[in-house]
Chain A
Amino acid sequence: MYRQHHAWLFGLLRHRLGGQHADAWDLVQDTFERVLRHRKWQELSQPRGYLSAIAKRLLIDRHRRKTIEDAYLAALAQQPEPVAPSAQDIAEVVEHLNRVCMALDRMPDRMRQVFVRARINGQAYDVIAQQLKLTVNVVQKDMMQAWQRIYHAIHG
């Protein structure tokens, strides 16, 4: 399957990534790795559809990670007491934030709104409940499930 489809996927991804050969190649490898790891890939009748779905998810993840990295560096520079953490520290934080954001992406809208308001924005539960027209009980339940998902995004 690799022999049959890797060139096609490479072409597709290279176009998507604006001509970046190395990045496209990495993504091709990642995509195939995931497919071969998880599925009974011999049974796929339409491997290209599946491959491009996986590749698209990886592209989105890559884009999100890049966005997070750029945003984090910019935010660091804007802090009142600018910090300059090591490249290693930054990479760890970016990886961590990427997983948190990935979990946020996959949450139902209300849950994500509740979590962002409560934890990221620091809003009190009763204020959230009032503004989103929910009960505090529901807010707490959403928070509980949100934390659960974030736990699994970080620790599997």
Chain B
Amino acid sequence: MADPKVSKRTHDIVERAADWFVRLQDARDEKTVREWERWCQADPEHAVIWRRFAEMDQSVPDGRRGQDQAAVQTVQLATRLRSRRRHLKLLASMVTVGLAGTGTYRYACDAGWLAEYRTGIGEQRALQLGEPGIALLLNTDTAIDVVDNAPFVDVHLHGGELLMDSVDRAQRANVRVVTRDATITPDRARMVVRYLRRGMHRHTLAALTAGRAQVTTIGQINGEIIAGQATSIGAGRIAMAHRYPEREFAWTQDMLVAENMRLDAFLEELGRYRQGIVRCDDAVAGLRVTGTFRIHDTDRVLAVLAESLDLRIEMRSRYWVTVMANEANA
């Protein structure tokens, strides 16, 4: 860290000057000021370096100075973003697993604007937070922002889905998941949190297969959720969605589980793993889908659906798919 170009003498003077600089911030009694003056005058280099400290006092933003606010906010943002290098530790491979078969290499600093970590469509990424690590797995099209909010570490889930595993911790960790609806604090849990916005509608879902979690919604509703259920969370309510949390973990094994799901809802889910749009006709939207599908190959899933539900898949392009009734049998 020490710059070899700086002599020891200069280094020592800077150290002394820094000491005076901090001391004089709140001790302005005569005795101290006179001692400082004596030090300043003892050597010309002392005065030169002191002048630079005085300049720094003007140029380094001070939160108490009105005219510094733009610079203050800038440094605040930069240090918040910087905290990702402290809290994110990539696994050794540094390879993102591409569900669509595209493996890409990424570095920790390659983040989306104001989102500290982002996965593309069809991509998953594994991360560790802190040491020892809490394992995080991000699903397709997910953006998170890791923020140092001492004593907590807040993982802001801007959109998408993540798995957080803190089961192996000796005690409750201080990592939380924050969505627009609520703050969720897991306690030695294995938890999936999903936060999706569909038009005007937004929705947080938390599912646990181990441990428990505290939930505080933005409407100040508090609750505890336990393993064995999937819970739907909104601003003003915490309600059980269903008792099969494992379904919400299927994506971590590259699978999608449907249980009597409407076709339009199913296609919406599938569409998260695909570039472009997948629509279906009103005529078939209400058909029910049940089964376990490998999401590695979404074209294949569509083909299987078409076959089992007697549908026609129209691909105007790879990016525009419409699912409709098979007219041959209409």
Say whether A129 faces chain B, with CB atoms less than 8 Å apart: no
- Among B78-86, B162-170, B292-300, the one that faces the other chain is B78-86
C-alpha spacing A152/B82, complex, angstroms: 20
Please tell me if the beta carbons of A156 and B3 are within 8 angstroms of each other in the complex: yes
- Nearest to B72 among chain A residues (CB) is A120
Q: Main secondary structure on chain B at its contact with chain A?
A: helix
Of the candidates A63, A97, A123, A140, which one forms a contact with B74 in the assembled complex, judged by CB atoms under 8 Å apart? A97
Please tell me if the beta carbons of A106 and B86 are within 8 angstroms of each other in the complex: no
C-alpha spacing A64/B49, complex, angstroms: 28
Please tell me if the beta carbons of A116 and B76 are within 8 angstroms of each other in the complex: yes
C-alpha spacing A113/B69, complex, angstroms: 19
B323 to chain A minimum Cβ distance, whole angstroms, is 34
Contacts of B86 in A (CB 8 A): 109
Please tell me if the beta carbons of B18 and A67 are within 8 angstroms of each other in the complex: no
Contacts A101-B79, A120-B76 given; does A72 touch B109 at CB 8 Å: no
Please tell me if the beta carbons of B15 and A68 are within 8 angstroms of each other in the complex: no
For chain B, give the interface size range: 35 or more
Contacts of A97 in B (CB 8 A): 61, 71, 74-75, 78
What 0/1 pattern do residues 104 to 141 of A give for CB contact below 8 A with B? 11100100110010011111010000000000000010
B32 to chain A minimum Cβ distance, whole angstroms, is 13
B280 to chain A minimum Cβ distance, whole angstroms, is 35
Say whether A154 faces chain B, with CB atoms less than 8 Å apart: yes
Of the candidates A70, A78, A116, A145, which one forms a contact with B18 in the assembled complex, judged by CB atoms under 8 Å apart? A145
Contacts of B23 in A (CB 8 A): 140
Contacts A16-B110, A101-B78, A152-B6 given; does A122 touch B22 at CB 8 Å: no
Please tell me if the beta carbons of B78 and A71 are within 8 angstroms of each other in the complex: yes
- Nearest to A15 among chain B residues (CB) is B105
Say whether A96 faces chain B, with CB atoms less than 8 Å apart: yes
Of the candidates B63, B69, B81, which one forms a contact with A75 in the assembled complex, judged by CB atoms under 8 Å apart? B69
Contacts of B150 in A (CB 8 A): 113
* Contacts of A19-77 to chain B: CB distance below 8 A: 56, 59-60, 63-64, 67-68, 70-72, 75-76
C-alpha spacing A116/B73, complex, angstroms: 11
Contacts A67-B78, A113-B150, A156-B5 given; does A119 touch B69 at CB 8 Å: no
C-alpha spacing A76/B71, complex, angstroms: 8
Say whether B36 faces chain A, with CB atoms less than 8 Å apart: no
Contacts of B3 in A (CB 8 A): 152, 156
C-alpha spacing A116/B79, complex, angstroms: 8
Say whether A9 faces chain B, with CB atoms less than 8 Å apart: no
Q: Main secondary structure on chain A at its contact with chain B?
A: helix
Contacts A79-B69, A151-B18 given; does A16 touch B78 at CB 8 Å: no
- Nearest to A132 among chain B residues (CB) is B150
Please tell me if the beta carbons of B56 and A150 are within 8 angstroms of each other in the complex: yes
Please tell me if the beta carbons of B107 and A67 are within 8 angstroms of each other in the complex: no
- Nearest to A146 among chain B residues (CB) is B18
- Nearest to B70 among chain A residues (CB) is A75
What 0/1 pattern do residues 136 to 178 of B give for CB contact below 8 A with A? 0000000000000010000000000000000000000000000
Please tell me if the beta carbons of A16 and B107 are within 8 angstroms of each other in the complex: yes
Please tell me if the beta carbons of B60 and A75 are within 8 angstroms of each other in the complex: no
A123 to chain B minimum Cβ distance, whole angstroms, is 8
Please tell me if the beta carbons of A71 and B53 are within 8 angstroms of each other in the complex: no
B83 to chain A minimum Cβ distance, whole angstroms, is 9
Say whether B8 faces chain A, with CB atoms less than 8 Å apart: no
Contacts of A125 in B (CB 8 A): 26
Please tell me if the beta carbons of A60 and B18 are within 8 angstroms of each other in the complex: no
Between-chain CB contacts (< 8 Å), 14 pairs: A64-B78, A64-B82, A72-B70, A78-B70, A78-B73, A79-B70, A93-B71, A100-B60, A104-B75, A109-B86, A116-B76, A119-B61, A120-B72, A144-B18
